Chain A
Amino acid sequence: MIIVIDYDTGNTRNVKKALDFLGVSNQLSADPAKILAADGLILPGVGAFSKAMDALISRGLVPVIQQAARQGVPILGICLGMQLLFERSFEFGQRPGLSIMNGQVVPIPDQLGVKVPHMGWDQNQVTRPDPIADPFDQQFTYFVHSYYVETGPENILATVDYGVRLPSVVRRKNVIGIQFHPEKSGDVGLAGLTKFKELIDHADYSRN
């Protein structure tokens, strides 16, 4: 069973709809016991970093998600949910994140002549082959964000070129982040969610 962490953020129900469409067993929940018992977790998210951290803190979910990550539970953060996995964000002042992955969240520079937010279909390039990122290589997926993650190349599986090279898929062992919206990226996006399900099904592969 996949638990989609339910902390009142925008795209939660669309993520659930995509999993339902794929026939992947899933449930929305903010219950720590269910989250720790899950085969896999999805952390959705749209909107402001700070507000999302407030919502996780008020539900007591920060240590729960951190513990699940340490236990090797496959975790997929989507859009803001990916950014929350990192150490800190500079959106409206500095704010600590879940610190499950090393790196920080910074604004997309708009002096490069690109429009911010980065909104629309953009083309991914896989930088490190990995089952979770391979379906996205050279494919266009749907992005909506004004901030992006700065992290080491060892964590980056795919990027898009938007003035700067924005990481679009990141991974550290069992923890995965996708900057775009797989639940809004047509068949390609659904293929990515299916890959996450397959990763969960191969427990030896995920719990390392």
Chain B
Amino acid sequence: MLAKRIIPCLDVDHGRVKKGVNFVNLQDVGDPTAIASAYQKQGADEIVFLDITATNEHRKAIIETIEKVAGQVFMPLTVGGGIHTVSDMMALLKAGADKIAVNSAAVDNPDLITKGAEKFGRQCIVLAIDAKFNADTNQYDVYVNGGRKKTTLNAIEWAKQGVGFGAGELLVTSMDRDGTKSGYDLNLYQQLSRAVSVPIIASGGCGQVSDFTNLFQQTTVDGALAASVFHFGELKISTVKDQLRKDGVIIR
């Protein structure tokens, strides 16, 4: 059986990791390759790079970053942020990425998912969704542009459509939980798991080891993504995995 995945996420700006990572023995706290290597040693199953470079002329920085990381780190690499075309995808995959995550650009142009899936295979195309609970409708709304702009889409319906367009995996962030350290939004992932059959990565809200256990025991998601708890050393991936094993979760 497949192991559940623990996935750190790095925000990269102009080829540098934006939120400084606080590891012992890490000389350059902003170097994506050094950080990714450290996470590989800790037992990360995959790494997500989110390119937050704002200007288009510096877009090639992320390609150079992935090229360097892929020469030193030998595990699956997912890249998202500002990917608008199949040729953007091609450049990143050639540099060593394994999967491409699309978010706002896929909402604007769902054909991007289909074109990418046809060219590189579904397993390469991850649909990233930022979801926020709407108490008036009792549903989850989809937000784009880094969570700044609300759309008319329902997150569960958009997830189903995205899979229909060709997405091979979903990376779904709960905006309500993001940064709160109050645990993953189990209700959201239970609804998503019932709606689609592709792998789902949960993101947003993890603050302690038991949040991972709850997520994997109470939903069927395949992976858990986290950033700050790992970056600031509050949790070590190896500690999380030891506990998950004790709790009977299949872990690498």
User: Which residues in B have their C-beta under 8 angstroms from that of A47?
Assistant: 120-121
CB < 8 Å: which of A21, A118, A123 contacts B3? A123
User: Which residues in B have their C-beta under 8 angstroms from that of A190?
Assistant: 74
Q: A66 in the interface, Cβ–Cβ < 8 Å?
A: no
Contact, CB under 8 Å: B71 / A121: no
* Min CB–CB distance B125 → chain A (angstroms): 12
Interface string of A162-195 (1 = CB under 8 A from B): 1000000000000000000001111101100000
Contact, CB under 8 Å: A119 / B252: no
Contact, CB under 8 Å: B74 / A119: no
Contact, CB under 8 Å: A46 / B3: no
Q: How far is the CA of A34 from the CA of B123 in the complex (A)?
A: 33
Interface hits, B36-53 → A, CB 8 Å: 40, 45
Interface string of B153-191 (1 = CB under 8 A from A): 000000000000000110000000000000000000000
Q: How far is the CA of A14 from the CA of B96 in the complex (A)?
A: 6
Contact, CB under 8 Å: B3 / A186: no
Contact, CB under 8 Å: A121 / B197: no
CB < 8 Å: which of A18, A140, A144, A161 contacts B123? A144
Interface string of A125-136 (1 = CB under 8 A from B): 000000000000
| 30 A/B residue pairs, CB under 8 Å, sorted by A | A10-B93, A13-B94, A13-B96, A17-B70, A17-B71, A17-B96, A18-B74, A20-B71, A46-B121, A47-B121, A115-B197, A115-B198, A115-B199, A119-B2, A119-B168, A120-B3, A120-B5, A120-B222, A121-B45, A123-B1, A123-B3, A142-B75, A142-B76, A144-B98, A161-B1, A183-B74, A184-B74, A184-B75, A186-B75, A189-B74
Q: A21-B74, A46-B121, A184-B76 are in contact. List 15 more A-B contacts (CB 8 A).
A: A13-B94, A17-B70, A119-B2, A120-B3, A120-B45, A121-B3, A122-B1, A122-B3, A123-B1, A144-B123, A184-B74, A185-B74, A185-B75, A187-B74, A190-B74
